[in-house]
């Protein structure tokens, strides 16, 4: 007997289900303490095999000891939540892949040592300055060339550099920070360390995306769901809209479309990295000094699926979510599968006291439990 989904596919000409490998989030913020307990369950319910955890905490993960303590907190939170679920809950298999937060002081020996001990899978680089900073990026790199000895060691040991490439110099316009950083920072690093694996995090500028797509070395990019769905106008929709403010900020519509084209055409240099970044509602909604970050973890898979569906590119969804360059983080393609069904799902307004991206709206796809 034919299934209802197969009949609907024949009648409507639309796929009703998509089955892909369990996915891997290549860029995730979990915070710590009560916030960690609030937001981690969202990623676990989304059936991720793991995630690259960003260490931009008030005390950043810039040492083996700090990163190890943070990893332990995440694992304890994971097990506490999973113990309260039905037997066989898939979240037990969630593998947090930690990052070393790069500072001007950290030594090549510390970076390599933490990698060899399995404490972290890569090095996260924020450029610190008066302008262009994101949450707790002020601990980051002020003297980029002074970090070249670290990059040399990373290249030797094949340790990925995960870069928040935004120029922080005061002469750079907010909407050009990524493109300028490509020229001033990324290109020189690639030139000097051609075998160093580099991931451009949360790419937002079409010029940066074109550079990644046209490269033939070890340069990749993560892409968020929200940057595939909104442009800079959304930050001003109905007045100043802090719910759509993040770093890097969304760019012109032409940039969104260029990036979306690279992604939905199946370019293997691009992969899912949500940059889901929770903030307490008070910090997110304040009139002055609004926190930068968009929380998409509760429905990340459905958001990405909607994008690929809109572009008639569902055949490329699986590699983007689950396969593209996951090996550089020490992960294998999952042998387990997950299914997304064409079934309406309403997005919650909040998780705890955290505003959810597109909260209250309805998506056409639902991840099957």
Render pLDDT for 58-114 as a digit per residue (tens, 0 to 9): 999 999 999 999 999 999 999 999 999 998 899 999 999 999 999 999 999 999 999
How confident is the model at residue 7, as a pLDDT? 56
Classify the phi-psi angles of 4: left when phi > 0, otherwise alpha if psi is within -120 to 50, otherwise beta: alpha
In the annotation, is 275 catalytic?
yes
- Token output for 282: 């008070």
Rounded to the nearest 5°, which phi and psi values hold at 37? -65, -30
Neighbours of 191 (CB within 10 A): 8
Give me 265's structure tokens: 């055409």
Q: Which residues of the chain have pLDDT under 50?
A: none
Q: What is the CATH number of domain 20-334?
A: 3.20.20.140
Q: What is the residue-wise DSSP string for 129-187?
A: SSSS--TTGGGSBS-SGGGHHHHHHHHHHTPPEEEE-----TTS-GGGHHHHHIIIIIH
Supply the pTM of this predicted model: 0.96
What local confidence, expressed as pLDDT, does residue 217 receive?
85
Gap between the Cα atoms of 225 and 291, Å rounded: 19
The pLDDT score that the predictor gives to residue 72 is 98
Given 173, 275, 309, 335, the catalytic residue: 275
Cα 202 vs. chain centroid, distance in angstroms? 6
CB-CB contact of 353 with 280 (8 Å): yes
Based on the number of CB atoms within 10 Å of its own CB, is 27 exposed (0-12), middle (13-18) or buried (19 or more)? Answer: buried
In whole numbers, what is the pLDDT of the chain averaged over residues?
95
Q: How far is CA 358 from the centre of its chain?
A: 17
CB atoms within 10 A of CB 112: 17
pLDDT at residue 345 in the model: 94
Q: What is the pLDDT of residue 1?
A: 59
According to DSSP, the β-strands at 270-272 and 219-223 are parallel
CA atoms within 13 A on the CB side of 8: 10
Write the CA distances from 66 to 15, 38, 83, 119, integer angstroms. 46, 21, 26, 10
CA atoms of 212 and 215, how far apart (whole Å)? 5
Locate 154 and state its tokens: 């990373």
Q: What is the pLDDT of residue 368?
A: 96
Encode pLDDT of 237-253 as tens digits: 889 899 999 999 999 99
pLDDT at 27: 98
Query: Three-class SS of residue 219?
Result: strand
DSSP 280: B
DSSP classification of residue 319 = H
Residue 348 CB neighbour total at 10 angstroms: 14
| 27 membership: H or E segment, kind and range | strand 24-28
């Amino acid at each position: 007997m034919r299934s209802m989904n197969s009949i609907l596919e024949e009648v409507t000409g639309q796929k009703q289900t998509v089955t892909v490998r369990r996915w891997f989030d290549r860029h995730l913020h979990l915070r710590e303490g009560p916030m960690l307990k609030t937001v981690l369950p969202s990623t676990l319910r989304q059936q991720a095999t793991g995630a690259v955890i960003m260490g931009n905490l008030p005390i950043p993960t810039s040492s083996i000891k700090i990163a190890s303590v943070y990893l332990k907190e995440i694992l304890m939170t994971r097990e506490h939540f999973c113990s309260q679920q039905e037997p066989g809950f898939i979240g037990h298999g969630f593998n947090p892949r930690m990052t070393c937060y790069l500072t001007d002081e950290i030594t090549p020996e510390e970076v390599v040592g933490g990698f060899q001990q399995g404490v972290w899978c890569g090095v996260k680089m924020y450029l610190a300055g008066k302008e262009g900073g994101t949450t707790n990026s002020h601990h980051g790199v002020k003297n980029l060339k002074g970090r070249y000895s670290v990059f040399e060691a990373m290249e030797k040991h094949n340790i990925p550099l995960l870069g928040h490439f935004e120029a922080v110099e005061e002469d750079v316009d907010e909407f050009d920070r990524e493109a300028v950083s490509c020229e001033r920072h990324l290109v020189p690093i690639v030139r000097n360390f051609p075998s160093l694996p580099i991931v451009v995090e949360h790419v937002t500028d079409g010029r940066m995306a074109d550079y990644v797509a046209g490269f033939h070395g070890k340069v990749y990019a993560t892409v968020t769901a929200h940057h595939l769905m909104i442009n800079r106008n959304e930050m001003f929709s109905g007045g100043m809209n802090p719910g759509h403010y993040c770093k890097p900020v969304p760019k012109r519509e032409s940039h969104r479309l260029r990036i979306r084209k690279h992604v939905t055409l199946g370019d293997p240099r691009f992969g899912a990295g949500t940059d889901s970044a929770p903030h307490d509602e008070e910090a997110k909604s304040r009139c002055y000094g609004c926190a930068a970050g968009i929380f998409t973890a509760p429905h990340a898979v459905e958001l990405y699926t909607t994008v690929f569906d809109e572009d008639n590119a569902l055949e490329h969804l699986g590699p983007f979510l689950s396969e593209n360059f996951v090996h550089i983080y020490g992960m294998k393609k999952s042998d387990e599968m997950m299914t997304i069904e064409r079934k309406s799902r309403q997005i919650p307004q909040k998780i705890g006291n955290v505003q959810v991206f597109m909260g209250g709206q309805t998506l056409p796809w639902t991840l099957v439990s």
